[in-house]
Amino acid sequence: MLKVLVLAACLMTACSWKEVKVVSASSAAASAVVLDHQVSTIKGEPVALSSYRGKVMLVVNTASECGLTPQYEGLQQLWEKYRERGLVVLGFPCNDFGGQEPGAPAEIASFCATRFSVSFPLFEKVRAKGDKSPLYKTLTEDVEPSLRGEIKWNFTKFLADRQGKVVARFEPAVKPDDPKLIAEIERLLAQ
């Protein structure tokens, strides 16, 4: 119950939760590159994000016990609709916000597969605040200034172009089917 109250309070007081930030092409040229990171899949297998070079990447910190958890369904729909054109959705479970991702990797993978039929790549838990995982340090500190800032909650979305440069940030309340997110995905896929 406390988790629900915390989320409700945050949603009511933080209109910036629906904020969308997109950088211009010239600013994106100076943005950090996420391809430089090595991560581990939900099964513990190492993966270089450089293996996604040439793909448009949607990086999302996720949680299984969050009021926003139903966004998994929309993320899966994005993956199914656009993966043949070059979009990859990358889910990074995170327990930093309200302890809403307490499960072990196998539990998280099972939950996502059975509840939302998730087939997009899932990775081991990350730290998105405090002592951040290297990827999230890059996403929050090393990108173009207008995209910088602490993660507010679960399901913050970062969009990177085919060269791995972070070009947009979508706050938690921006759903995967939001027209602004779809337009930016389609713009990047057309490049």
Active-site amino acid positions: 66
Apex 132 CA angle, 78 and 162, nearest 5:
35
Residues forming a β-bridge with 90: 59
Q: Residue written as tokens 């200034």?
A: 145
Q: What backbone phi and psi angles, to 5 degrees, belong to 188?
A: -70, -35
The span from the CA of 108 to the CA of 110, in Å, is 5
Instruction: Check residue 133 and give left, alpha or beta (phi > 0: left; psi -120 to 50: alpha).
Output: beta
DSSP state, residue 152: -
The span from the CA of 171 to the CA of 154, in Å, is 9
Q: Exposed/middle/buried for 43, CB within 10 Å: 0-12, 13-18, 19+? A: exposed
